[in-house]
Structure 1
């Protein structure tokens, strides 16, 4: 049976660029585990130059999220403090009559310290007894482990969308890390 490759939007803090590049090379370029979408050296895409939050979010949705089905948040030491990560997660969780949210998968990089608040809102501290929308994992040790996690996040888009916590308020500024 052929492996399905999902289009995954990659959200991360640019201080983790080297680890992100390695992740893309390891699992997209080398093993074709998924198709990377987003901003970065290993992914095609233009930087969005604006200070208007609504404009930036609409461009993120239009350019990167519109054809992706899973958002992978690569979490390092300061990812939790970045406003763009918050905006990307918020846009990923957006839903409506004709909009299906992206699945949400967090991957802990070696430098991981804590979850971004909007990501954490979609976790349960009492999991697995209490279900929730998002899932997270340590850095994958195999292509199969990552593929399975991506597929589970993809499935949760429709089976668990009622568990999404996505308030309208968003980070205006980066926080001190």
Structure 2
């Protein structure tokens, strides 16, 4: 995996092979950040990265100037890797080791962008809990965006607050808005 743009543009990051992750592809990530760059000033937003895995998405935000980023993952190895990488690259990432659903139930953190990259084998019910909890607990700031990454075989268009989806190869991003 590599950082596409910003101060660490082109930097390759090698995650340990034993992490239970499926990092967002560079092509999908680049397309997503092109979309976000048209709507947000990266140096003026706050980001919550759920199911953060290797931290791939968070590194991209940080490299582009975002200084308020929180990464949540339940895997100790993932959190450890994100902390090590953030320290080595001097990136402003906060990490929280927690089950994402428990975190969403309890947090009062509000952000401009919430990115969720849950396991692709989640059930429709599991996927639906993400926007449900985000909007029930008012975790998005005004004009904020929830982005859920999933397989092209999963359809989230029937969920409340759904706006639209973009497909990149086997990856799909569904966007939710207030």
Q: Higher relative CO (CA 8 A, sep ≥ 6), structure 1 or 2?
A: 1
Q: Which has the higher strand share?
A: 2
TM-score grouping bracket, smaller chain normalisation? 0.3 to 0.5
Compute the TM-score of the two structures, normalised by the length of structure 2. Answer: 0.43
Q: Which has the higher helix share?
A: 1
